[in-house]
Amino acid sequence: MNLSNYVPKEPAMIECKIEKTLDVIGGKWAFLVLRELFCEKRRFGELQRQISYVSPRALTNTLRHLEGQGVLERHVFPTVPVTVEYSLTPKGVDLHGILHEMKQWAAKWT
C-alpha cells in the first residue's frame, strides 16, 4: 500500500442545534444581559448598573454580539446626548424558556 499520496478526509461537519444556541447565550455576560432585558428595555448605563462587575468594553462586546445574532435590537434616539435603548427581539424573548429551564436545573442539582 502506497501512503505517499494519502490525503486525509476532512471531518464531517454535523450541525448541532445545541452548539448554535450556546454560541448565542454561552458568552460570559450574555445571559445576564438577557435576564435584565426580559424585564424591560434598558439603556447601556442601566445594564451596567444592574451587572455592576461587567466592564464597559465587555458589555459593549456582548451587546454587539447579541445584536448580531438577532437577539436584541438597539434603538437610537436623536437627543443630546444620544439616547440608546436595548430591547429583545421575538427571537430573544424565545430564549426566556431556555434560561428558565437552566435555572430550574441548577436549583435542583447545584
Distance (Å) of CA 27 to CA 56, 58, 65, 75, 108: 15, 10, 9, 22, 23
Claim: this prediction has a pTM higher than 0.85:
no
DSSP string of 19-40, one letter each residue: HHHHHHH-STTHHHHHHHHHHS
Residue extents of the structural domains in the chain: 17-109
- pLDDT tens digits, 8-67: 777 666 778 888 888 888 889 999 999 999 999 999 999 999 998 999 999 999 999 999
**Predicted pLDDT of residue 1:** 56
State residue 2's pLDDT score: 62
Q: Which residue has the cell 430591547?
A: 87
What are the pLDDT digits (tens) for 60-105? 999 999 999 999 999 999 999 999 999 999 999 999 999 999 999 9
Query: Quick check: 57 and 83 in contact, CB under 8 A?
Result: no
CATH of domain 17-109: 1.10.10.10
